[in-house]
Amino acid sequence: MYFTGLAIAVCTFLIIGLFHPIVIKFEYYFGTRQWWLFLLAGIACIVLSICIEDTFISSLIGVIGASMLWSIGEIFEQKKRVEKGWFPMNPKRKTEYSSAIKDEQGSNNTLAN
């Protein structure tokens, strides 16, 4: 029997699962301005994957590259989830979120009345 396909599938599942907390932490600490790091790393992994002869390793590097590229959109979606209050906001970057600005303006207006 050949288990290469099954091993690639399991590793793909784990890699995708690993990128969920990476996106959450990345957005919390760095915001969306550093999205280009995922772009460069993703492109590098994809180029590297086509240069590797071993099918298993090449597939995993390609999946990591694709996950990095997909994570670019997820970083921006994570910002929206933070603005909705679904995830904690980094207090050091409070001004980067539109809801934080609206909340502060709203509280200032109620104090003035």
One digit per residue, the tens of pLDDT, for the chain of length 113 reads 889 999 999 999 999 999 999 999 999 999 999 999 999 999 999 999 999 999 999 999 999 999 999 999 999 999 999 999 999 998 888 888 876 545 554 555 545 55
What tokens appear for 79 in the block? 């910002």
Place of tokens 């301005």: 33
> What's the pLDDT at 95?
86
> What's the pLDDT at 102?
55
Cα angle 43, 77, 17 (rounded to 5 degrees) comes to: 65
> What's the pLDDT at 93?
85
Predicted TM-score of the model (pTM): 0.81
HSE-CB for 21 with a 13 A CA cutoff: 4
> What's the pLDDT at 98?
78
